[in-house]
């Protein structure tokens, strides 16, 4: 449905998009995930015909977006990062204007606009001037514009930025609803968001595609080694002795807790599940295991690992800051 081939975008000498190659199949929700500055908006702007590429091509249902923008644009609804809202218009006027630009036949316009307004829950504010709307309602006006005419592909650049938590939940529900009939591509720098709504994640880092898979597969395939944690009354040296001949162990870390018990973190070799062997080894030594639990690699680990060398913008200096920014975005 969409094919991006060898896409390159340079701003002067700065390589914002670095040879991207991927395909988008119909009927799924795709997430572009990457830190700020990764190249998500630039890629989306090129895919929707708003920006030219330095090299490469984007085919929408076989139509080259750069050579036949009109034809290709008919298949796409787009909510850019900064939606081009005409703030002196009312919501309704703005959508009428957008419908005209999209070439929606006059006789269908009123009905289609009403349908889009109802879908994004903005009907009750349709006669208000956009400049008097809250950020959340402005975003919805932009969304209504994107879904207007119900094109096959809907592309949303950071659709929940600046919305409050309740609005974020509503937008996510809306995205899921849209995905029943449309292919949806959204971008986000927030992992939790992409994981929650997307069937397929494309991780972008410094203009490059560094991973592309389902959330589950990303965790499985790219996850580092899994770990097993256990607690016992035996001393660390005894724990190491018991585990000495257990196959599949990469590393053992131990620590004695305040209660005098030993807590051990065992890192498994890739693809191994050592829990049964560990249990039997302790049973064989007649040393009771008080706790044993497996801890897998999370998508967070994968994401941090893949994007760790990114030039991180100010305010994103470390993981803690990331989370802080996410929370802020959700409560503005």
Between β-strands 63-64 and 227-232, what pairing exists: parallel, antiparallel or unpaired? unpaired
Give the closest residue to 38 by CA, choosing from 12, 18, 58, 63: 18
Q: Which of the choices ligand ADP, Mg ion, none does residue 215 contact, using the CB cut-off of 5 to 8 A by kind?
A: none
Alpha carbons 214 and 199: distance in angstroms, whole number: 6
Q: What is the smallest separation between the CB atom of 269 and ligand ADP, expressed in angstroms?
A: 36
- Given candidates 36, 114, 134, 305, which one binds ligand ADP under the rule CB under 6 A? 36
CB atoms within 10 A of CB 311: 11
Told to check if 41 binds Mg ion by CB under 5 A, we report yes
Please report how close the Cβ of residue 41 comes to ligand ADP at its closest, in angstroms.
Answer: 3
40-65: b or e for each residue (b if 16 or more CB lie within 10 Å)? bbbbbbbbbbeeebeebebbbeebeb
Q: Phi and psi (nearest 5°) for 215?
A: -55, -45
262 lines the binding site for Mg ion (CB under 5 A): no
Name the minimum Å distance from CB 81 to Mg ion. Answer: 5
Q: How far is the CB of 16 from ligand ADP (least distance, A)?
A: 3
14 binds ligand ADP (CB under 6 A): yes
Q: Which two tokens stand for residue 178?
A: 């849209």
- Smallest distance from the beta carbon of 207 to Mg ion, in angstroms? 12
Work out whether 16 is an interface residue with ligand ADP (CB under 6 A): yes
Angle at 180 between CA 177 and CA 184, to 5 degrees: 80
Q: Tell me which of Mg ion, ligand ADP, none is bound by residue 42, counting a contact when its beta carbon lies within the kind-specific cut-off of 5 to 8 angstroms.
A: ligand ADP
Tell me if 45 contacts Mg ion by CB under 5 A: no
Interface with Mg ion (CB under 5 A): 40-41, 81
Interface with ligand ADP (CB under 6 A): 11, 14, 16, 34, 36-42
């Amino acid at each position: 449905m969409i094919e991006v081939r060898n896409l390159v975008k340079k701003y002067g000498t700065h390589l914002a998009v670095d040879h991207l190659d991927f395909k988008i199949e119909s009927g799924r929700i795709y997430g572009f995930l990457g830190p700020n500055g990764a190249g998500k908006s630039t890629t989306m702007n090129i895919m929707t015909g708003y920006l030219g590429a330095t090299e490469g091509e984007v085919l929408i249902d076989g139509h080259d977006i750069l050579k036949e923008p009109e034809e290709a644009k008919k298949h796409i609804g787009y909510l850019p990062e900064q939606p081009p809202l005409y703030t002196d218009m009312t919501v309704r006027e703005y959508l009428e204007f957008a419908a005209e630009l999209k070439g929606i036949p006059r006789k269908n316009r009123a009905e289609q606009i009403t349908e889009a307004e109802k879908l994004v829950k903005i009907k009750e504010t349709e006669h208000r001037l956009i400049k008097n709307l809250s950020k959340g309602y402005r975003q919805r006006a932009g969304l209504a514009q994107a879904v207007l005419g119900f094109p096959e592909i809907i592309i949303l650049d950071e659709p929940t930025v600046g919305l409050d938590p309740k609005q974020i939940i509503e937008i996510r529900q809306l995205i899921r609803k849209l995905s029943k009939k449309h292919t949806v591509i959204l971008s986000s720098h927030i992992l939790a968001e992409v994981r929650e709504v997307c069937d397929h994640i494309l991780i972008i880092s410094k203009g490059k595609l560094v991973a592309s898979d389902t959330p589950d597969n990303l965790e499985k395939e790219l996850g580092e080694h899994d770990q097993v944690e256990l607690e016992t009354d035996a001393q660390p040296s005894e724990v190491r002795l018991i585990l000495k001949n257990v196959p599949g162990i990469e590393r053992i870390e131990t620590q004695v807790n305040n209660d005098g018990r030993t807590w051990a973190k065992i890192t498994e070799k890739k693809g191994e599940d050592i829990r049964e062997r560990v249990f039997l080894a302790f049973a064989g030594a007649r040393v009771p295991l008080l706790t044993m639990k497996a801890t897998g690699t999370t998508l967070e680990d994968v994401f941090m690992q893949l994007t760790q060398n990114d030039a991180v913008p100010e305010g994103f200096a470390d993981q803690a800051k990331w989370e802080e920014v996410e929370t802020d975005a959700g409560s503005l």
